[in-house]
Chains A and B, each alone.
Chain A
């Protein structure tokens, strides 16, 4: 296993810059998830690590060796593709042994390795089948097996679960995670699914427009998103945003004045001046439904009630903006009725509207820093 260093890596196709100087250190044995919307450059970055795309400038090293000029075959990495990319004219066993056979590994060693991996992945009964005779989940396993058999320096995953149905995806998520714990292999995993990122990653790399927006543990990214993009991308249901201007009440309380005059209390932030345009971010679970205005509630109009089984999502409008509220209760407000909602002051995120960057609270009293 090995660490991977990426230093100021850039990628351009002609005049179009896809990646603008990526710096990232991946430690030995770490499970890194690159997440972002399509077109953010995450797959390109992965393919650059694999050697399937040239690096326009910068450097990528695997285990301390700069691999910029190395062919994919000489980088000792394994990759699991979104399409699985199994060789259709070879059996499962042949698919899995292909890389070992190319390295002229002894036949007994190959069959040992394959039976071992097939055992782990539950593929033993399928070894003689062709890929077309397998289900999607089985193909996915074979693709994983093909990667594992080689014991490479690092595993690269390019959206490996996006062709599976929801239930299978959940199951494979857990399996990949368990496998990682068992093998301790350095892994780089690309996905656009923020739930995969949250559940699987040691560290998440959130990307947008070819730039790394934030690197951090899933909890860090969820609780302290660096900017509006990360805040909106990570979390489902997504964070609510309201625009207003900053007002200071006293040393311990500040407020955001919304366009309709309502005031939402927040912890004072260090870098904001009174009157500054602020975007307020509140996750659906940090907004509660309260009895009336006396309890500090703001009136909001009910648009839709979405029961999700475990919980319920209440869609309302506040100051003309749609807001989602997560509740474990089973509310049955009629549509178009008014309810009162209150924001959890300590958990509200304050972003500078102009730079879209997060403004951290001024004191350490809050849970967020």
Chain B
């Protein structure tokens, strides 16, 4: 065999195994989603009778139709969109301002504030449910979307702040100083120069907080009791009844719940890709 022949076989092997591993990982990661989809389109009458098959012998949209028209799901859905969207916006706004302050200013008590914010991340959430309920109940914030938004925002702000701070750290101080000399106040410089450059960071933070709020179950379950203020993760549980689980409908609802999250990420992905690799190379 010639030298070039050897090299090309080696290359082929190298890239072949490379793609094989990636494919294995992708299949592993996506299989549950596939199963979700598969069960959601399987008619109820053959769900248990066909055994384990990769694709049902016949498909139907009846589960989707039921979820959309016969259940409370559209309502839960709307609640989730309101709660997650608002939480993402409010958290990102607070995190951007706080992160900027952490990144740019030296002030008294900074270390203490950072330490306190880190400590809030150390407690298991379960520990905090009772005290939070105690605080929110007299304020009339249990069983309300506002209460959920406040709790989610409070829990997400520390991490989002550190995330935003790291993005601001990556932007040279000279830029806003140049803008301040050019005629901006510091806040104007932040808005006109720094924020546009941090869009990937803002997108990443929005995405992170949105998904965290979107899939949160524990607080949504404990703080909300009425149907009118339930979010979709709680709604999913309503398909579990005392005697049976409506897997088909549950999976259909699950697939539908993926839609807004997918749309949201589609919207921000252009910034996100930049954001997640920011700082990897010197720009």
Contacts and interface: CB of A to CB of B under 8 A. Distances in A.
B interface, size bucket: 10 to 19
Contacts of B183: 73, 98-99, 102-103
Interface stretch (B73-81, B172-180, B210-218): B172-180
B182 A52 contact: no
Interface in A53-105: 71-73, 77-79, 81-83, 85-89, 98-99, 102-103
A102 B178 contact: no
A89 B180 contact: no
A84 to B, nearest CB: 8
Q: Which of B172, B175, B181, B197 has the most CB of A within 10 A?
A: B181
A327 B147 CA distance: 83
A103 B197 CA distance: 23
Contact of B181 (A78, A86, A132): A78
A135 to B, nearest CB: 15
A226 interface: no
A134 to B, nearest CB: 13
Contacts of A103: 183
Contact of A52 (B177, B184, B193): B177
B185 interface: yes
A41 B176 CA distance: 22
Contacts of B179: 87, 98
A50 interface: yes
A132 B177 CA distance: 19
A82 B177 CA distance: 12
B181 A50 contact: yes
B180 A88 contact: no
A85 B177 contact: yes
Given A88-B197, A89-B196, A89-B197, A83 B172 contact: yes
Contacts of B178: 79, 81, 85-87, 146
Q: Which of A50, A77, A102 has the most CB of B within 10 A?
A: A102
Contact of A102 (B172, B177, B182, B196): B182
Contacts of A73: 180-185
B16 interface: no
A87 B193 contact: yes
Contacts of B283: 88, 132
B196 A83 contact: no
A78 B177 CA distance: 11
A330 B180 CA distance: 55
Interface in A1-57: 50-52
Contacts of A99: 182-183
A77 B181 contact: yes
A50 B148 CA distance: 47
Interface in A266-308: none
A293 B172 CA distance: 61
Interface in B161-202: 172, 174-175, 177-185, 193, 196-197
Given A79-B177, A87-B179, 7 more contacts: A52-B177, A52-B180, A73-B180, A77-B181, A78-B181, A86-B178, A88-B283
Interface of B: 172, 174-175, 177-185, 193, 196-197, 283
Going nearest first, the 10 A-B pairs with the smallest beta carbon separation are A85-B174, A102-B183, A99-B182, A85-B178, A72-B180, A73-B183, A81-B174, A72-B181, A83-B174, A79-B181
18 contacts: A50-B177, A50-B181, A52-B177, A52-B181, A71-B185, A72-B180, A73-B182, A73-B185, A79-B178, A81-B174, A82-B174, A83-B172, A85-B175, A85-B178, A89-B196, A99-B183, A102-B182, A103-B183
